[in-house]
Amino acid sequence: MKGVIRSAFTLIATATLLVMASCEKNFLDVPLQGGENTRADPALAQKLVTGVYNSLLQGDSWGNGDVHGFAFISVTNIMSDDADKGSTATDQAVPVGDLDDFTISPTNKFCETLWSGHYNSIGDANQALAQLADAAIDTTERTKLIAEVRFLRGYLYFNLVRMFGGVPLVLRVPVDATDANTDPAFFTRASVDEVYASIINDLQFAMDHLDLKSKSEVGHANKGAAESMLAKVYMYRENWQKVFDLTQDVINSGQYRLLDNYEDIWRQAYQNSDESIFEIETGTFNNGNLGVNNYTVCQGPRVGGKGGWDDLGWGFDDPTTTLVNAYEPGDKRKAATIIFIDNSGTHAGTTLWDGFRVPSADSVQNLRYNYKAYTSKTDEDFQDPSDKDRPKNIRILRYADVLLMNAEAGIHTGQGAPDAMVNMVRERAGLMDKTGVTINDVWQERHVELAMEHDRFWDIVRQGRAASVMHAAGKTNFVAGRNELLPIPESQILLSGGKLEQNPGY
Amino acid sequence: MTARPFSLQAVKNQINMRRGIGVAVILALFCSAAFSQTRNVEGTVQDAADSTGLPGVNVVVQGTSRGTSTDLNGHYSLDLNEGDNTLVFTFIGYETQTVTVGNRTTINIALAQEVKALQEVVVVGYGEQKKSDITGSTANVDGKILAEQPVLTATQAMQGKLAGVQIISSGQPGSSPQVRIRGVSTALAGTSPLYVVDGVLTDDISNINTADIVDVNVLKDASASAIYGSRGANGVIIITTKKGKAGDMHISYNNSIGIQQATNLVKMANAAEYDNYVQAASGSPPPASDYNTDWYGVILRNAWQQNHNISLSGGTDKSTYLLNTSYLDDQGIVIDNDFKRWTIRLNTEYNIRKNLKFGVLSSFGNSINENGFNNLDIDAYGNIGSVYNDAYRASPIVPSIIDGKYGNTSAYQNVGNPLLDIKDNKIRVNDNRLQGSSYLKFEPVTWLSLKSSFGVDWDYSSNRGYYYKFLADDQTFLNAGGNQQRTRSNLAVSQTQWMHWVWDNTATITRQFGKNNLVFLVGTTAEKYTNQYLYGTRDDVPADPNLWYIGVGDANTSKNNGTGDAWARNSYLARLNYNFDEKYLLTANFRADGSSLLPSQNRWREYPSLGLAWILTNESFMQAQHLFDMLKLRASYGKVGNDKIPTGSYSQVVTLNQAYAFNGSSSAATNGAKIEQIVDPNITWETTVETDGAVEFGLLRNRLTGEVDYYNKKVQNALINVPIQRTVGDIDGLVLTNVASIQNRGLEANLNWRNTINDNWSYHVGANATLNKNKVVALNGGQAIYGGSIGAAQGFTTYTDNGLPVGSFYVLQVIGVFNSDEEVSDYKASDGTVIQPSAKPGDFKYQDTNGDGKIDDSDRIFAGSYQPKAYFGLNGGVNYKAWDLSLSLYGNEGNEVYNGKKAVRIDARDNVESDVVYNRWTSQNHTQTEPRANSGNLPASTYFVESGSFVRINNVTVGYTLPKDKLEKVGIQSLRIFATSQNLLTLKKFSGFTPELPGTPLDSGIELSAYPTTRTIAMGVNITL
C-alpha cells in the first residue's frame, strides 16, 4: 500500500514537471514576422491606394499580368493600322504577330495576361476599397481616396470592356476560394451595358468627390481626369450631350492648355504638364528605376544587319506606311511621332533630339520606331540610366483629346465651336486652319494627333469602321463581328467549366 | 555509456523500503538499510576479448537490490548476507553472467561482448531500445565507419550504408547532400529529413565533425518516426556524439591528407574539331586562331584536402569528459575556391548521485568558404551565364588569358570568359554555429527515470560578395568589345542569425510483471525559433579589400533588405513498449504537435503509430531447430507529418513596397502595398500514412544477419497549387492547398555476413538494396506542375501529373534523323500536313504525338524519372593480422537524367563535345541518334535524356596497425597508418559529368552547372596515446 502511495506521489511530481514545461499560456501565439497583415498597420488603407496605382505599372506580359506593358502596346498600337509588330520576323511571332495579323487564338498569352493584369488591378482596387470602408481616417480623406480608387477601377473596366466586351463584373473581394468558385459574378460575363453602367458609376463618383488639378496632388486622379475619362466613356456610348457638357466643363475649368511644341509632350521635362490630364507615373524607387516593365525597351530601336552599336531595345511597335501617309504635308507631328531610320545610303544615320545618333538602316533591324516611347540616356534624369528599359510616363489622357472630343460632340449636338477646337490642335502642328469641320475631319485629326498613343484601335472600332480601315491598311484577316474584340482566355473558360462564354468567332 | 545501476528484478524488492515524500527524500532512495553482514566476496571483472579490467560493471546479489560496481581497474568487493548465493554481473554491451558464490571469497569474471547486431542498443528518440525489441524500421551505422572516409559531411559518408536511404551528393565544398528516405514524398514542401543531434532538432549537420559521431540511427518508417510527429515524414536521422569513458585519459590524433581531382570530365572539341564542326554548322569556318584552349583545364585543378582531429577523453566514475577538435581544409577543384572548417566539441557527464546525472554536450564550428562554386552563379549584374555553362560553350580558339589580358569570348560568341567569370568577383561565406544540449537525469526509484534536456542551436553567418569593375575594353581584354563588363563595382553583404532552443521533459517507467516487460514514456517538449536576415549593397566600392564596407560605396546606390521569422512549438508525446516473454512485442507511439505556424483554429495535429513484432526464435517450438539463431516478424502502421511548408502560407499577408512615383521622375516614389493573394486559411502540414512489414533473421550462429522490409507510404494531403479564376485578382491565379496525394512503395533488403576464421583472419560483407516506386496518385484538381526550366529554347523539362513519378521528364520524342528532303516531305500527319516543313536532312524527326500536323509543347511525352527504380550499397572488410582493408560500393539503377548542359548550346559558335563532332549525322554517316552540325537551340527532347544508372567504388581503405609491444615502449597505445581513396572509379552510362544531381522534387536529375565527381586519394594516421 505504501508503495502505491509513493508511486502516486512520484507520478504527481512527474506530471507537475511535465506540465510546467508547457504551461506558459500563449506560448504558441507567435505572430508572423516581417509579413504585415491587415491588422498591423493603421496606414494600410492609404498604402493600398498607392498599391492600386502601382498595379497600373504591370508589364509581366508573359507571366502574371499586363496593364500597360508590351501586351497593352500590342492590342492598342500594333493591332491597329498605326503600327506593325516590328523586330525580326520570328521574334514574338506567336503572341504579338498573331495579334498584328488577326490570327489570334484563345490561348494567346498576351490576351491572357491583359485579362489577368486588369483583374489583378481591379482586385487591388477592391481590396483597397474594403480596407478604406472601415479605416480609422478622416472622412474627407477617406472619400477622396475612395474616389481615386473608383476612378482607377472605372478606367480599368473601360479598358477591359473595350478589349473583351462584357466581362465578369467583380466589385468586391471574395471571402475565400470557395466564395470565388461559388458566386457567378466571378466567372460569368456581365453585359456590355452593365459593365458601362458600373464604369459610369465609378467615374461619376470620382468626378463628384475629387478636386480640380490645381488643388490636387500631382499624379493622383483628380476631378479633371475623372470628368475627361467619363466624357470619353460617354463618347464610346455615343451620349454626345454628356460628352459635350463634360468636355466643356473641363475646358472651362481653366486647368489645362496645349503645350506650345507638340514634341515636348513626351519629354521628361514636360511630364505632368499643363496639357496632361492623366498619366501613368514612373520614376525612382529603392535607388532603382520604377516604371512599366518593358514599356520602353520593347519599343526601342533594335540592332540588325551589320550591327556594331549598343542598341536601345527590341524594335517592336513600328509605325506603318499607312500612318506615315496619314499626315498632311508640313505636319510637325510626323517627325515627333516616328523615328525614321536613315535608308538613303549616305549612312548619315538619324540624330534624335538629344543628339543620340541611331545608325543607318544597314545596322538597324527596322525602318521606323515609335518616337513617343523614346527616353534619353543623356538628357533625361534616371536613377539607373544604363538600364535600357528606362521608365517613361505614359500619357493616357491629355487636353488635345478633350478638345477633339468636344469638337466631335459639338458636331453631333450642334453646340460649341468645333472648328476652333480642331484648329487649336492643328495650329500647334503647324497646319492651316480648317473651317466647317466634319466628323471625318475630327477622326483624321484624332488619328494623327493621338497616333501611337494606344487610342487608335479602339477609336476605329468605336467609329464603326474598323473593318474598312483595317482592310484598307492591308490587314485583310480582320473579320467584322469578330476582331473588334479579343478572345476570352481559354484557360479561364475551362476553369469556369464553360460558364464563362467565348466571344463570337473564336 | 551508462551502466544500469540495478536489474529489473531488483525493483520489486524495494517497495518495502522506507522513504519520505518529495525530491529530497527520493534522493535517499538508495541509502542502504542496515543488515547483518556475514562475509565478503571480491574479484576482478575483465573483458573476455582483451583481458583488460572493466570499470563500472554492476555486481548485484540476485533477487535483491544490493550490489556494487567495479572500480577503474575492474575490481569489486561486496558484502554478502546470509542466504545470498548468486551474483549477477551486468554491463551494457556485454552478456550478463550469473555466478553461484558457494564458498568462494574471490570470484574473477571474464565478460564476453554481446553479439552486436542483435543486442545493440539504439537511440530511438527520447530514449534507447534494444535493437531486438524494435518493432519499426530503423537502420544503423557506426560512426567509426563514417569517419574513415575523406568526405566533408557525415551525410555523404552514409551513402550506400543504409537500405532505404538515398543520398545524393555533389561533393562540392560547403554543400549539404540531399537525403531521400524511402522516395520523394512531396512536390512543393521540403524534403530534408529531420536530424536529431544529441536531442537537438535540426535540418542540417554540415557543422558536425564526422569524427565526433559514435552512432547514426535512421528511423525510416512512420511507426518509428511518429515520436517526432509532424517532422517525421521525411525520415529521422538520429546522431549520437562520443562521450568520455571512465578510466585513463586517452589522447588520439587522426589525420588524412590527400589530393582531389575531377573525374569523368566531358571531352570538349579541340580547336581543329571545333573548326570542322562550326564550318559544317554555319557554312563558314571560324576565324583563324593559333589557340587551343581547354576551358575545363583552365578553371579546374588538382586540389589539396586535409583533415586533422585531436581527441582527449577520460574520466572517473563521477565524471567523464571528451574534447574533440578538428580542422578541415578543402580547396575544391575549381580554382580560387577554399573551404576551411574547424570544430570543437566538449562533452562532459557527471554522476552527482547514484541516481542523478548531469551532462553537457556542446560543439562549436566555424567554416569559411571562399569563392565557393555555388556562389559563382550569383551575379548581381547578370553577367553572361555561369562559369560552368560558359566553360562548356566557350570556343577553344579564344585564349583564356595572355599577359594579364583575357581572351574576349564575349566579343567572339557572346559567352563570358569562364576564367574571368571566376576572377571578377570575391565571395566569402563565413558561418559560425554553436550547438549543444544539457540534461539532468534523475531516477527517484529504479523503475522511474525523469529527464529534462535543454538544447540550443545558434548560427550566425555573414556573407560578402565583391564584384570588380571592368569594361569590355582593351585594358581588360586582348581585344575590346562584347558585353562581358561591369560598369560599376559592387559590394553586397548579408548577415543571417538564427536561434533555436528545445526543452524536452520526459518520464520513463520501466517495469516487469512476470513475463510482461513494459517501458512507458511520457513527455513534453517546447521549442522556439527566431531568425533575422539583413542585407545591404552599394556600387562603386573600391577594389582594395580593406575598403570592402558598405559605407565606402555610393550612397545613391544603396539598397537593403531585412527579414525575420519566428515560431514556437509545443508537443506532448507518449510511447509504450511492451513485450511478453521477449516473444511478442508491441510499440505504440503518440505525439501531439502544436505550432504557431498553423492557424489557431487548427493548431494541433496528432500522430499515432503502432508496431507489432513476434520473435519466433524465442518460442519453445523453435528451440529444436538450429537454422535460425534469430527470426523476427514485424508489422507497423503510423502517421507522420511534413511541416516544411512555407511559413505563414495560411495567412493573408500584405505585399509591401508597391510604390508609385506620383511626381514622375521629379521626386522619389511614394510607398504602397497590395493584398494580392487568396490564401487557404486551413492550410496545414502534409500527412503521411505508412505501413511496413518485415522479417529479420540471424543464421549460422548469427554470422549471417539480415532484414527485408516492404513499405507503402502515402502522402494524403500533399501541397499543390489549385488554379482559381483570374477575376478574383490573385496575382498568380493559384491557391496553395492540401489536396494532392503521392505514394511510395518499396522493398528494402539488408544482409550482413561476418566471420572470424581464426586469430589472423576475419572479414565481413554487407549488402543492401532498395526498390522504390513513386507516383502521384491524384492531384485532385491541383494544377500539374511544370519544372526543371533550363532556359534557352528548352523551357521546362519536367512535369508532375497524375499517375506518374514526381518530376518526370516531359519532352519531345526523337524518332530519328531525316536523311533526305524526301523524308522531310514524306513525314506527314493524317490530313497530309507536312509536320516539319522547315527541317533539313540531318535534323531530328520528332514524334507528332497529338497528330495535329505540327511539333510543339503539346507533343511532349513522359520520358522517365530521375528517381531510381533501385539503389544499393555493398560494404566489405577484411582483417589479416595487423592489416585491414575495406571497400564500399554504391550505385543506382533505372533512373534517367537530363543532359541540360548540352542544351545550353545556343549558337553555332558555341563549342561542342568531341564525340558529337565525330558522331554527328553527315551525308555519309546516316546515324539516327545525333543530328547534323547545328547551332544549338534544340528543343527539349529525348536526345537529352540519358540513363542515370551508375555504380561507384565509394571508398577503398587499406590500413596497417603497428605492433603494440613496440609502441608501448614509446608510450603509444596504438598507431595505424592508412591510405584511402574516395570515388576511385565510377561506371556510368551518362555522357555528362555525374549522374548524381540533387535538386528539388520538381527539378532533380538535371545536369546544368553540375559539380564534377571528384576523386580523392589520401593518407593518414590514427594515433592513440
C-alpha cell at B840: 533539313
**Chain B residues near residue A20 by CB distance under 8 angstroms:** 505
pLDDT, tens only, B832-842: 899 999 899 99
Sequence-ordered list of residues with C-beta below 8 angstroms from that of B353, at least 6 positions apart, any chain: B27
- What's the whole-number mean pLDDT along residues B886-906? 90
The count of other CB atoms within 10 Å of the CB of residue B960 is: 13
Locate cell 495650329: which residue? A427
- Give the number of beta-carbon pairs within 8 Å between A and B: 270
**Percentage of chain A surpassing pLDDT 70?**
94
pLDDT, tens only, B714-771: 999 998 888 889 999 998 888 888 889 999 999 999 999 988 887 788 899 999 999 9
Per-residue confidence at B19, pLDDT binned at 50, 70, 90? very low
pLDDT at B487: 86
Query: What residues are paired with B125 via a beta bridge?
Result: none
Query: What residues are paired with B219 via a beta bridge?
Result: B138, B236
Taking the C-alpha atoms of residue A371 and residue A333, their distance in angstroms, rounded to an integer, is 10
Whole-angstrom Cα Rg for chain A: 27
The count of other CB atoms within 10 Å of the CB of residue B290 is: 7
**Chain A residues near residue B652 by CB distance under 8 angstroms:** 37-38
Sequence-ordered list of residues with C-beta below 8 angstroms from that of B198, at least 6 positions apart, any chain: B239, B240, B241, B361, B436, B437, B455
pLDDT, tens only, B363-379: 999 999 888 755 444 44
- Contact between chains at A285 and B672 (C-beta distance less than 8 A): no
Q: Any alpha helices (H) in B149-226, and if so which ranges?
A: 154-157, 222-225
Taking the C-alpha atoms of residue B273 and residue A188, their distance in angstroms, rounded to an integer, is 62
Considering only CB atoms, B603 lies closest to which of A28, A31, A50, namely A28
Residue B555, CA distances (Å) to A287, A337, B200, B261, B493 in order: 9, 38, 43, 44, 15
pLDDT at A16: 59
Residue B135, CA distances (Å) to B215, B546, B885 in order: 20, 60, 34
Look at B499 and A21; give whichever has higher pLDDT: B499
Dihedrals phi, psi of A110, to nearest 5 degrees:
-70, -35
- What's the whole-number mean pLDDT along residues B654-674? 91
End-to-end CA distance of chain B: 21
pLDDT at A60: 94
Residue of A95, A48, A105, A46 whose CA lies nearest to A72: A95
Q: Is residue B23 within 8 Å of residue B31, measured between CB atoms?
A: no
pLDDT over 50 (residue B30): no
Beta-sheet pairing, B516-539 with B734-756: unpaired
Residue A258, CA distances (Å) to A276, A337, A400 in order: 9, 17, 7
Locate cell 509605325: which residue? A319
pLDDT at B354: 87
CA of B741 to nearest chain A CA: how many angstroms apart?
20
Q: Does residue A113 sit at the B interface (CB-CB below 8 Å)? A: no
Which helix (H) or strand (E) segment holds residue A237: the answer is helix A223-237
- Contact between chains at A32 and B26 (C-beta distance less than 8 A): no
pLDDT over 60 (residue B10): no
Query: What residues are paired with B620 via a beta bridge?
Result: none
In the chain, the amino acid numbered B646 is: P
pLDDT at A193: 97
C-alpha cell at A361: 538602316
CA of B176 to nearest chain A CA: how many angstroms apart?
27
- What's the whole-number mean pLDDT along residues B587-613? 90
Please provide the DSSP assignment of B328-362 as one string.
EEE--SBTT-EEEEEEEEEEEEEEEETTEEEEEEE
**Chain A residues near residue B655 by CB distance under 8 angstroms:** 51
Phi-psi region of B692 (alpha: psi -120 to 50; beta: other; left: phi over 0): beta
Kindly identify which residue of chain A lies nearest to residue B488, measuring between CA atoms: A386
Q: Is residue B339 within 8 Å of residue B332, measured between CB atoms?
A: yes
**Percentage of chain B surpassing pLDDT 70?**
94
Q: What is the ipTM of this complex?
A: 0.93
Which helix (H) or strand (E) segment holds residue A246: the answer is helix A240-252
Provide the strand spans (E) within B221-302.
236-241, 247-262
**Chain A residues near residue B445 by CB distance under 8 angstroms:** 6-7, 10
Provide the strand spans (E) within B91-168.
97-100, 109-111, 121-123, 128-130, 138-142, 165-168
pLDDT over 80 (residue B982): yes
pLDDT, tens only, B276-312: 999 998 888 888 999 999 999 999 999 999 999 999 9
- Please, which residues 130-149 of chain A have a Cβ atom closer than 8 Å to chain B? 131
Please tell me whether residue B837 adopts helix, strand or coil conformation: coil
- Contact between chains at A28 and B570 (C-beta distance less than 8 A): yes
Q: Is residue B730 within 8 Å of residue B677, measured between CB atoms?
A: yes
Beta-sheet pairing, A338-340 with B945-947: unpaired
Considering only CB atoms, A50 lies closest to which of B566, B672, B675, namely B672
pLDDT at A30: 83
Look at B22 and A150; give whichever has higher pLDDT: A150
Taking the C-alpha atoms of residue B799 and residue B187, their distance in angstroms, rounded to an integer, is 11
pLDDT at B115: 55
Beta-sheet pairing, B798-800 with B808-811: antiparallel
Beta-sheet pairing, B734-756 with B761-778: antiparallel
Helix axes A223-237, A240-252, angle to 10 degrees: 160
Q: Is residue B28 within 8 Å of residue B19, measured between CB atoms?
A: yes
pLDDT at B11: 37
Considering only CB atoms, A17 lies closest to which of B450, B595, B681, namely B450
Look at B113 and B380; give whichever has higher pLDDT: B113
pLDDT, tens only, B690-709: 999 999 999 888 889 999 99
Kindly identify which residue of chain A lies nearest to residue B594, measuring between CA atoms: A28
End-to-end CA distance of chain A: 89
Please tell me whether residue A303 adopts helix, strand or coil conformation: strand
Per-residue confidence at B435, pLDDT binned at 50, 70, 90? very high
pLDDT at A306: 78
Segments in chain A below pLDDT 70: 1-25, 35-40
- Share the mean pLDDT of chain B: 87
Dihedrals phi, psi of B48, to nearest 5 degrees:
-60, -30
Taking the C-alpha atoms of residue B995 and residue B183, their distance in angstroms, rounded to an integer, is 17
Which helix (H) or strand (E) segment holds residue B426: the answer is strand B425-445
C-alpha cell at B634: 514485424
Q: Which residues of B262-277 are buried (b: 16+ CB within 10 A; e: fewer)?
A: bbbebebbbbebbbbb
Which helix (H) or strand (E) segment holds residue B697: the answer is strand B686-699
Query: What residues are paired with B723 via a beta bridge?
Result: B734
Dihedrals phi, psi of A103, to nearest 5 degrees:
-115, 50
- Contact between chains at A51 and B672 (C-beta distance less than 8 A): yes
Per-residue confidence at B415, pLDDT binned at 50, 70, 90? confident
Considering only CB atoms, B648 lies closest to which of A21, A35, A115, namely A35
CA of B757 to nearest chain A CA: how many angstroms apart?
52
Residue of B145, B237, B166 whose CA lies nearest to B200: B237
Taking the C-alpha atoms of residue B442 and residue B950, their distance in angstroms, rounded to an integer, is 51
Kindly identify which residue of chain B lies nearest to residue A131, measuring between CA atoms: B675
In the chain, the amino acid numbered B525 is: T
Query: What residues are paired with B518 via a beta bridge?
Result: B511, B578
